[in-house]
Amino acid sequence: MSFQFSKWIVMPAAVLLLGTVAMGQDTSSTGSSTQGTTTTAPAPKPTIAQRKENQQDRIANGVQSGQLTAGETSKLETKEAAINGETRADRAANGGKLTAAEKQQVNQQQNQLSKQIYNDKHNANTAQYGNSKVGQRQENQQDRIAQGIKSGQLTAGETAKLENQQKGINQQVKADRAANGGKLTTGEKKQVNKEQNGASKNIYNKKHNANTQKPKK
């Protein structure tokens, strides 16, 4: 009889103990979840300098991958150069800083440029140079320009000029091929190589001058 009595006393006590432990775990879990939510801070918005660098990286990637043609790159970099020029002028007028309104204006302009970069990289136009020696030189020049953009050795204005020069050469090659059944004559190849030699010097000089792309915050 004493055994039966103690059995019915111990079992409810054990159930009560398990329930208390379970409630404690739920409370702990809820508390940690709440704590995790309250301590998570939103990601900080990128600065003007960070956005500028990001745009240049995207353009450089597009140049190197062939998603951006020389003409598209020239237009993008011309817009980037204009934004940079406006930013410099605003800083000069305000002791080296941008007002809240000026920052908002720059961000709106960068938003528009960002959309154009995306559209240009995803349209039907691609830079395809083929397997010829002329095509390899064209691709090599683009790779050098892309590297200069990424490293900051080329400013947006310098890149726009270099890409405009490449655009002119590419258009000439395209027209010559169209006039000769898709091929270049020996004289045309010689002329293109001469022009690419001049472009190559320009790329080198602009990558090694005092102008660098060092954005300020």
Element (H, E) at 58: helix 48-65
Quick: pLDDT tens for 116-175. 999 999 999 999 888 899 999 999 999 999 999 999 999 999 999 999 999 999 999 999
**Could you identify the residue written with the tokens 């801070």?**
41
Cα(174)–Cα(182) distance, rounded to whole angstroms?
8
Q: How confident is the model at residue 35 (pLDDT cuts 50, 70, 90)?
A: low
Q: Please state at what angle helix 100-121 crosses helix 70-93, rounded to 10 degrees.
A: 180
pTM of the model: 0.77
Task: Print burial letters for 1-36: b (CB count within 10 Å at least 16), e (below 16).
Answer: eeeeeeeeeeeeeeeeeeeeeeeeeeeeeeeeeeee
